[in-house]
């Protein structure tokens, strides 16, 4: 009975992810150049874009944020270009591990935060797809991912640990997870205390050895949010869609 209940919960979560991922495609217009995010929710977005290309004749090109997304996009028939070839993107659709009331994000649970941020900064607007578990008042319950160089990564970890209230651990343990860029990921347990994400981002980026930080501030323009009550779109009043 407990197993069946858990299975039902997981099926509900997956259904919510699919609903949000598909609904985000309503922001897409013919001829757009798209950033294709990484993660379990935006996976449904990528598959829906592929369906609309094959069945509805949608004309778009994509820039993937990870090797995983690149492979999926090719499988479903999305034409791909590089960021330099695109000349800039109209829209990026991506997931998030957390977002707060100011539309600041924690990203990097999938390990693609550096490429995701490069693509997001090259786009005219950013749409996030999420289920309601990702909505928080204060960022930090989800450990903050920080990509670092493998060279002397322990020293980089120690410098972050000097002001992180919780544990700073290397993802993957004895056999570290390696990003598409060849970096390592440090997961930093700040707890729900990140009230000034921009300041924390700047502080972390000032440490030699840090490649990128999974804080996305002043980038997200809307969140397509799925809950048991249905899919709603939250628009950032300070964003670029107004």
Q: Is the pLDDT of residue 9 over 60?
A: no
* Domain 144-213: CATH superfamily, name plus number: ACT domain (3.30.70.260)
- Residue spans of the domains in the chain: they are 2-132+218-228, 144-213
DSSP string, 35-82: EE--STTHHHHHHHHHHHHHHH----EEEESSHHHHHHHHHTT--B--
What pLDDT, on the 0 to 100 scale, is given for residue 12? 74
CATH domain 2-132+218-228 topology: Rossmann fold (3.40.50)
Residue 150 confidence class, pLDDT cut points 50, 70, 90: very high
Catalytic residue of the set 116, 147, 201, 212:
116
Q: In this predicted model, what pLDDT tens digit does every residue of 89-134 receive, in sequence order?
A: 999 999 999 999 999 999 999 999 999 999 999 999 999 999 889 9
Residue 8 confidence class, pLDDT cut points 50, 70, 90: very low
At 132, list the tokens: 């309601």
212 is catalytic: no
Q: Which residue has the higher pLDDT, 230 or 203?
A: 203
Determine the average pLDDT of the residues in 172-187.
Answer: 96
Q: What is the pTM (predicted TM-score) of this model?
A: 0.92
- Work out whether the CA dihedral 104, 138, 199, 211 comes out positive or negative: negative
């Amino acid at each position: 009975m407990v197993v069946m209940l858990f299975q039902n919960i997981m099926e509900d979560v997956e259904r919510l992810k699919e609903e949000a991922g598909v609904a985000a495609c309503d922001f897409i217009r013919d001829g757009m150049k798209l950033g294709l995010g990484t993660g379990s929710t935006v996976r449904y977005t990528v598959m829906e874009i592929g369906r609309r290309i094959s069945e509805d004749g949608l004309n778009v090109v994509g820039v993937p944020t990870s090797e995983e997304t690149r492979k999926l996009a090719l499988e479903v028939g999305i034409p791909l270009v590089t960021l330099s070839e695109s000349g800039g993107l109209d829209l990026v659709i991506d997931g998030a591990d957390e977002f707060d009331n100011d539309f600041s994000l924690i990203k990097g649970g999938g390990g693609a935060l550096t490429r995701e941020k490069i693509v997001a900064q090259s786009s005219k607007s950013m749409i996030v797809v999420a289920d309601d578990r990702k909505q928080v008042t204060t960022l930090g319950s989800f450990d903050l991912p920080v990509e670092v160089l493998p060279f002397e990564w322990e020293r980089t970890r120690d410098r972050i640990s000097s002001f992180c209230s919780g544990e700073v651990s290397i993802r993957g343990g004895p056999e570290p997870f390696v990003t598409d860029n060849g970096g390592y990921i440090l997961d930093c347990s700040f707890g729900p205390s990140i009230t000034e994400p921009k300041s924390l981002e700047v502080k972390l980026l000032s440490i030699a050895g840090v490649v990128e930080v999974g804080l996305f501030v002043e980038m997200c323009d809307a969140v397509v949010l799925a809950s048991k009550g249905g899919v709603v779109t939250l628009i950032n009043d300070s964003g670029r869609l107004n």
